[in-house]
């Protein structure tokens, strides 16, 4: 099995088994991505929401569900 397919399988399994437990990692993923772009370690509530939505969009694209 290719590495990319293994990653996709693991992410899909994680999403299926514990949908509510994936919220915090998605927020973290989104904030890390935003921090790498902006360099700003402080985020408003609106920025956190946008980062989360961006991370979800990125993950759906990666998994091929969008």
DSSP code per residue over 16-64 = HH-TGGGHHHHHHHHHHHHHHHH------HHHHHHHHHHHHHHHHHHHT
Please count the structural domains in the chain.
1
Whole-angstrom Cα distance, residue 30 to residue 27?
Answer: 5
Q: Is pTM beyond 0.75 here?
A: no
Q: How many residues does the chain have?
A: 66
Residue 39: pLDDT over 90 = yes
Domain span at residue 53?
3-63
Residue 11: pLDDT over 80 = no
46 vs 65, residue with greater confidence:
46
Using CA atoms, how far residue 53 sits from 5, 30, 33, 57, 58, in Å, is: 23, 8, 12, 6, 9
């Amino acid at each position: 099995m290719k590495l990319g397919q293994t990653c996709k399988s693991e992410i899909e399994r994680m999403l299926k088994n514990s949908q509510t437990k994936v919220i915090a990692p998605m927020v973290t993923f989104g904030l890390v991505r935003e921090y790498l772009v902006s360099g700003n370690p402080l985020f408003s509530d609106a920025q956190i929401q946008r980062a989360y939505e961006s991370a979800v969009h990125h993950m759906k694209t990666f998994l091929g569900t969008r």
